[in-house]
Amino acid sequence: MNFRRKDFHCGKNLLKSTESTILELESVLSNIPWKPIFSFQQEDKTYLHQAAYNHAIASEILNLENWESQPSLRKSPRLIGDFRKNLVFVEVQFGNSSTLYRDYYKFQFGLANGLLSIAVLIVPEAPQAFFPKRNSPHSVSNMAEFSLADTCLSILPINVPTILYGLKNSN
């Protein structure tokens, strides 16, 4: 699928040192097709929409070397991510927009405690365009999205090196 990328607080040396990991992630995103009704089959179960993209992304990432699923930053309160390779920490967010703030907290905690050097946040660019065939348009009306994440990362004192990806439909 297509995506938009924006970097925050990422120096040239950091981007250079994480380049191969970031390119692997971008390859995964590029290899997953966008469809108005996206489905993913895994072990006799069919997933749709957000769940399908989550499982497809996970399946692709975990086929690569040295990627960790559900990396833990802290046991109590429980802070886990979606993926990590070395110190690149990834969150795929199709939840309510308020979940972005929890992700920012995880990023801050992880950086402050040496558990990540760069955070990656993946959200749809425009949820209603990305999921046009959902049964209820209200199911995506307050979904985390690129413009809100961009605004928050731009104006809030979140100084964690972060790469923001906005997933686009192919139209």
Residue 129, pLDDT > 60, answer yes
For residue 71, the model assigns a pLDDT of 97
For residue 67, the model assigns a pLDDT of 98
For residue 106, the model assigns a pLDDT of 96
Per-residue confidence band for 44, with pLDDT thresholds at 50, 70 and 90: very high
Residue 46, pLDDT > 90, answer yes
Average pLDDT of the residues in 92-121: 96
CATH class, range 2-168: alpha beta
Domain ranges of the chain: 2-168
Residues in Cβ contact with 101 at an 8 Å cutoff, skipping those fewer than 6 apart? 152
Mean pLDDT of the chain: 94
